[in-house]
Amino acid sequence: MKHFKAIAAMSLNRVIGAGNAIPWHLPEDFKWFKKATMGNVVVMGRKTFESIGKPLPNRKNLVLTRHPQRLIKSHPEIFGGYHEWRGGKFLKRAYQFHFTKLEGKSATDILIFKSLDKLDPAEFPNDIFICGGAEIYAQALPRCSDLYLTLVKREIEGGDAFFPPFEDKFELVEELRDEPEFKILHYRHKNLRQ
């Protein structure tokens, strides 16, 4: 059975965000995130999507919101540049809106889903990465077979978004990198296998 994968970065005191932004700038970690997710599906909550301000290129961007029309209408600067699809096999299922933009040979897609429950990883040919924020991690982690967690080696004051507890359900399988400012850890769910 196919499951989600999660990718996240948290501080030593579990902060992942402050004021709807990521409170550190680690270009090497961004490079890792880009490499891991490129060509795959990235799933994010509406607040994370708005904080990035545009879809991540050359990936399928799956945005979760309970108010799709509100999201589309409030961001003409994003959605105006995209071609909207209607119909297709997914229409009967969870998502209501599908936008595509062709960039050279590759496409950047935005799919808007109203429900995480109806999202089935098996419907997509490639990996589906849960990319935050806190609300989405909390709901999706029980359905993730793998967690790629960047541990930022500092304490962050004033954080308002936190990574949920996961340690009892996941086990560490590999330390992928250890840098002065962060390490990248690969955890696997104890009961879910890809």
Ligand X SMILES: NC(=O)c1ccc[n+]([C@@H]2O[C@H](COP(=O)([O-])OP(=O)(O)OC[C@H]3O[C@@H](n4cnc5c(N)ncnc54)[C@H](OP(=O)(O)O)[C@@H]3O)[C@@H](O)[C@H]2O)c1
- Burial state string for 156-172 with b = 16 or more CB within 10 A and e = fewer than 16: beebebbbbebeebbee
Interacting span for ligand X (CB under 6 A) from 42-50, 84-92, 164-172, 184-192: 42-50
Among 110, 161, 184, 185, binds ligand X (CB under 6 A): 161
Stretch of residues binding ligand X (CB under 6 A), selected from 35-43, 88-96, 111-119, 177-185: 111-119
- CA dist 3 and 66 (Å) reads 23
| Selected binder of ligand X within 32, 42, 48, 56 (CB under 6 A) | 48
Cross-strand pairs, 21:
18
Determine, following the binding rule CB under 6 A, whether residue 131 of this chain makes contact with ligand X: yes
- CA pair distance 155, 163, nearest whole angstrom: 14
> Does the footprint of ligand X cover residue 116 (CB under 6 A)?
yes
SS3 48: helix
Where do contacts with ligand X occur on this chain (CB under 6 A)? 8-9, 16-17, 20-22, 44-48, 51, 64-67, 71, 114-116, 131-136, 139, 161
